[in-house]
Chain A
Amino acid sequence: MALDDINLTIRAGETLAIIGHTGSGKSTLITHLNGLLKAQSGTVIFEGKDIWADKKELKNIRFKIGLCFQYPEYQLFEETVYKDIAFGPKNMGLDEKEIDRRVRQSLAYMDLPESYLERSPFDLSGGQKRKIALAGILAMQPDILVLDEPTAGLDPAARNNLFDLIRSYKEQSGTTVVFVSHSMEDVANLADRIVVMNKGKIAMEGAPEEVFQHADELLAIGLNVPAITKIFLGLQKNGYPFQTVYTVEDAVKILKPLIGGDTLDA
């Protein structure tokens, strides 16, 4: 069974991370969110309504729950960046003026200059293509943005840049963000809440500080904790009664007062 007895609530405005190793059901779960797949039993409720209640409405659900798949740059097909970003809004039946506004706004969210609009998406670099594809989802102005491994295959600079853009987009628009990631460090830095998937079930759910407490259980299902958490677990073992941290920022807050800094050299 790909998914088994999933009960999950996504809260408006939160950033939810879904983690789990390949085949744990993460991708299947997110394709249920916008009705690309239909569960044999159970319901998906969006704003109080079963998304499958009215089949004609289903298409509109897809505009409200914007789903960006892995390696989204492979879905680009238009001659120009403009047309490609406009594909979603066009399918929504918006008028030219509104489409134009949304295309430009989405491009701005991705921090790309308007001169890109008339270029062919196929002439851009991998990281830029990814941003264009993501802009195509943002242009639908979804209430929930769902991202399946948004930074897969990118180099560190592009990875950090894309996460910064997603973060600032979220701050500006207030959109709910759900993302799948294999990088525990990224999850720790970005998520308000984490859902851990294993064998089609939800194995754990909670705030990062709760989930990353359970390092042993995460390791047992093929996952990990951020490197910084591992370091702190090691320090705890060596007799230091620190609380468990999961970001470098928090670690510095705890250690800085204890370690003089400047004067010390290795």
Chain B
Amino acid sequence: MRDISFGQYYPSHSLLHRLDPRFKIVITILLVVGIFLCNTAVSIGFAALCALIFMLLSKVPISTYLKNIKPLIPIIIFTFILNLIYVPGEHVIFSFWKITLYMEAVQTAVFIAFRIVLLVIITSFLTYTTTPTALTNAIEDLLKWLKVFKVDVHSIAMMMSIALRFIPTLIDEINKIMNAQKARGADFESGNIVKKIKAMVPILVPLFISSFRRAYELANAMECRCYNGGAGRTKLKTMQISAKDFVALFVIVLAFAGFILLNKIKIGGLF
């Protein structure tokens, strides 16, 4: 539980930290789409290179990125095996009993595993280099046009930023409650699924109650600090677009084009 660092800002003054958050969101979306389009070894290798450059430029230790991948390892292995078994193809590697392993399956399994890892890296780059406030401000700004349809973009952005702010607090809280109930002999590990779900009640009830209390107190505290919705608010950090933002976007567009072009090069006709 304690390893979850999603949505946590890593303070630094790197180039990537200083980019306009709106551009960072667009860049992230481009890269995510790009990674999905990659379907050759060369283009995935190129995407991995891009991700590596991003990690280095962000001045966030690579180990911190890896921490985000760790909890996903079971999912990666699971999808890997699933793909290996179920993806059909023409090039048989071997056949045993009812299972036939195709070259295509190996290819899909490897590519998807890589894609998941790269996606995690790219999205964590965004949250590591951008404060949640900056991120929500950017989303608020990018979605401004939705106001035409009477969508309260400000409130949605505020809720997001508060949710991100409370993630570590709630994780701490869950740990505390679990320990307190374990001290009274609660058992969360053994038994079948029904028993395990029942065992969650002593955690969930206190968690809900305390979350409501927190919400109530936070609302009071926000009111005391003159929060009155989005109207008339100013920002500590105004978002300002500079030349480096356009340069960064241009580089990413080039990289995006690179992904598509490199998809044409296939090693051994398959990869």
Q: Interface on A for B, CB 8 Å cutoff?
A: 31, 34, 36, 59, 62-63, 66-69, 72, 74-77, 87-88, 91-92, 122, 136-137, 140
| Nearest-neighbor residue (CB-CB) of A73 within chain B | B206
Choose from A59, A63, A76, A140 the contact partner of B187 (Cβ within 8 Å).
A59
Contact with A along B171-196 (1 / 0, CB 8 A): 00000110111111111000000000
Q: Which of B177, B185, B187, B201 meets A75, CB within 8 Å?
A: B177
Tell whether, in the assembled complex, residue B205 and residue A36 are in contact, meaning their CB atoms are under 8 Å apart: no
Main secondary structure of the interface of A (DSSP, over half): helix
Chain B residues contacting A34 (CB-CB under 8 Å) are 183
The 10 residue pairs across chains A and B that have the minimum distance between CB atoms: A91-B185, A77-B205, A75-B180, A67-B183, A88-B184, A77-B202, A69-B180, A77-B206, A36-B179, A87-B184
Q: Contacts of B201 on A, CB cut-off 8 Å?
A: 77
Residues in A whose Cβ lies below 8 Å from that of B179: 31, 36, 69
A60 to chain B: closest residue by CB: B185
Measured between alpha carbons, how far is A154 from B65 in the docked complex, in Å?
43
In the complex, residue of chain B having the shortest beta-carbon distance to the beta carbon of A58: B182
Can you pick out 13 interface pairs between chain A and chain B where the beta carbons lie within 8 Å of each other? A31-B179, A62-B182, A62-B183, A69-B183, A74-B210, A77-B201, A77-B202, A77-B205, A88-B184, A91-B185, A91-B186, A91-B187, A140-B184
Q: Which residues of B from 109 to 137 have beta carbons under 8 Å from A?
A: none
Q: How far is the CB of A41 from chain B (nearest CB, A)?
A: 21
Does B231 sit within 8 A of A, measured CB to CB?
A: no
Closest to A92 in B: B185
Across-interface contacts of B247 in A (CB, < 8 A): none
A74→B209 CA distance, assembly (Å):
8
A68 to B201, CA, bound (A): 19
CA separation between A91 and B179, bound complex, in Å?
Answer: 15
User: Which residues of A lie under 8 Å from residue B184 when comparing CB positions?
Assistant: 62, 75, 87-88, 91, 136-137, 140
B197 to chain A, nearest CB (A): 15
Neighbouring B residues of A66 by C-beta, 8 Å: 183
Provide the bound-state CA to CA distance between A74 and B176, in Å: 9
* A193 CB → nearest B CB, Å: 23
B57 to chain A, nearest CB (A): 34
Partner of B176, one of A63, A69, A87, A92: A69
Q: Is the CB of A63 within 8 A of B185?
A: yes
Contact of A76 with B206 in the complex, beta carbons under 8 Å? yes
Hey, which chain B residues are within 8 Å of A122, CB to CB?
209
Indicate whether A62 sits within 8 Å of B185 (C-beta atoms), given known contacts A76-B206, A87-B202: yes
**Chain B residues near A62 (CB, 8 Å)?**
182-185
> Is A72 touching B180 in the complex (CB atoms < 8 A)?
yes
Assembly CA distance A77 to B209 (angstroms)? 9
Known: A87-B202, A122-B209. A74 touches B183 (CB 8 A): no
How far in angstroms is the closest Cβ of chain A from B50?
39
Chain B hits for A67, CB < 8 A: 183
Rounded to whole Å, the gap between the CB of A189 and the closest CB of chain B is: 26
Taken together as a complex, chains A and B put the C-alpha atoms of A92 and B206 apart, in Å, by 22
Closest to B186 in A: A91
Give chain A nearest CB distance to B174 CB in angstroms: 12
Are A75 and B182 in contact (CB-based, < 8 A)?
Answer: no
8 more contacts with CB within 8 A, not counting A67-B183, A87-B184, A140-B185, are A36-B179, A62-B183, A63-B185, A74-B176, A87-B181, A87-B202, A91-B184, A137-B184
Q: Which chain B residues border A88 with CB–CB below 8 Å? A: 184-185
Measured between beta carbons, the chain B residues less than 8 angstroms from A68 are: 183
Pick the residue among A74, A92, A136 that contacts B177 (CB under 8 A).
A74
Q: Which residues of B contact A74 (CB under 8 A)?
A: 176-177, 180, 206, 209-210
Q: Which residues of A contact B177 (CB under 8 A)?
A: 74-75
Give A7 Cβ to nearest chain B Cβ, in Å.
Answer: 24
Q: Would you call B209 and A75 a contact (CB within 8 A)?
A: no
Chain A residues with Cβ below 8 Å from B176 are 69, 74
